[in-house]
Amino acid sequence: MKNAFVLLKNGTGDINAEAVLSVFRAKGYGFLEGRILFHAEAKKLCDCVNSLNAEYENIAVLVDRAYLPFAKNALVALFGEGSFQGASSGLGLFVNKKNTLFLLSDDETGLAYANEVCVAYLEKKYALQTERTVIRAIGANPEHVQGLIATAKRIDGGAIKYEYTRKFDEDVIEMLYDSNIPKRVADDVLRIFAEGMSDSIYALDDTPLETQLVRLIKLRGRKISVAESFTGGGVAKRIVSVSGASAVYFEGLNTYDERSKQKRLGVSAYTLNTFGAVSDQTAYEMASGLISTGDCDISIATTGLAGPKSDRSALPVGLCYIAIGTKERVFVYRYKFDGTRKEITEKAINYALFLAYKQLKNL
């Protein structure tokens, strides 16, 4: 199966094709070639499609909605009357013995049509059901992950397609394969990642980190509270974004000022004066201060320097401490993140949620 696409621009700017094309990719129907036309000329469009027809089985033509009537008429002339199967809107399929062409707009209507009609047509045409496995992790070494993917490719013999993305130190590996692949092969590949990234993985499906944490807190029958400094409420925001978080979330404090840390969390003046607000001792007392209220069973505390400049402490930008407290003990982790202020903050939020998840799994 070989697929290509054609983008017809309106001459004044790019069309928004990526979202529509991603619908095909998500089901395993990737594109080997793409071409761009800048003017709505019937001959150029037909010549382009004709040249692709010789090599590719399926072609997606994406146009601005205003160009649908033009594109449809041009393609009817190429494929012949009766070849068009579609909607009154102009979206549809051109089918002959060898090729299938999808005519789509670059808006929400085209997105829905690609998802509901075009992908279903391909699955029926090739009698395949695409399977999708997602692995989510925090803080894995990207070079190590690439090495695992290379190992997996040697085992699967080209039967699995891999998409690897990394953002704010969160790793997402997506595997796409058809239902005919032997289960043993799929299991062996999954085992490579599960064993090679065991300390970093938090989900073997496409569940976001905050959702995974809230589910585990519910399962354990616990309550969680959060005290944040440099993350400015970002950890709490992620937790409460999960539906049903109210059953497990007690409170969140944004203790940005040193006096707030003292008044709200019981951090001692001695600790702040001796070790500073950005220190493992302060993170420890922030987390333990929440636990000491008796209102939560697990706590998260963050303190650090997100930049762009250091403060009077002269500590390096990116230095942070994350503490995870339980009724038995408090764990403190030190990190030095690189990047912009936003990147440093978002990385710390990801690690805070991940560390809470890991500790809770051990309770």
CATH number of the domain that residue 221 is part of: 3.90.950.20
Domain boundary among 138, 173, 203: 203
User: pLDDT tens digit string along 271-303?
Assistant: 999 999 999 999 999 999 999 999 999 999 999
- Whether residue 67 is found in the same domain as residue 23: yes
User: pLDDT tens digit string along 180-220?
Assistant: 788 899 999 999 999 999 999 999 999 999 999 999 999 99
- Whether residue 96 is found in the same domain as residue 168: no
CATH of the domain at 151: 3.30.70.600
- Whether residue 137 is found in the same domain as residue 120: no
Domain count, the chain: 3
- Whether residue 220 is found in the same domain as residue 349: yes
- Whether residue 196 is found in the same domain as residue 264: no
Q: Which domain holds residue 337?
A: 209-361
**Amino acid occupying residue 61:** V
Distance of alpha carbon 189 from alpha carbon 156, whole angstroms: 7
Residue-averaged pLDDT of the chain = 91
- Whether residue 43 is found in the same domain as residue 175: no
Q: Which region among 70-84, 101-115, 181-195, 221-235 has the lowest average model confidence (pLDDT)?
A: 70-84
- Whether residue 110 is found in the same domain as residue 198: no
- Whether residue 83 is found in the same domain as residue 172: no
- Whether residue 219 is found in the same domain as residue 356: yes
CATH of the domain at 60: 3.40.980.10
Domain boundary among 83, 101, 126: 126
Query: Which residues are CB-contacts of 138 (< 8 A; sequence separation ≥ 6)?
Result: 169, 170, 171, 200, 202, 209, 350, 351, 354
Nearest of 271, 319, 263 to residue 289 by alpha carbon = 263
Residue 10, pLDDT score: 65
Residue 14, pLDDT score: 52
User: pLDDT tens digit string along 94-124?
Assistant: 988 788 999 999 888 888 999 899 988 988 8
- Whether residue 258 is found in the same domain as residue 346: yes
332 or 77, higher pLDDT:
332
Q: What percent of the chain has pLDDT over 70?
A: 97
Q: Which region among 59-68, 149-158, 204-213, 240-249 has the lowest average model confidence (pLDDT)?
A: 59-68
Domain boundary among 203, 224, 249: 203
- Whether residue 165 is found in the same domain as residue 299: no
- Whether residue 224 is found in the same domain as residue 322: yes
Mean pLDDT of 328-335: 97
128 or 15, higher pLDDT:
128
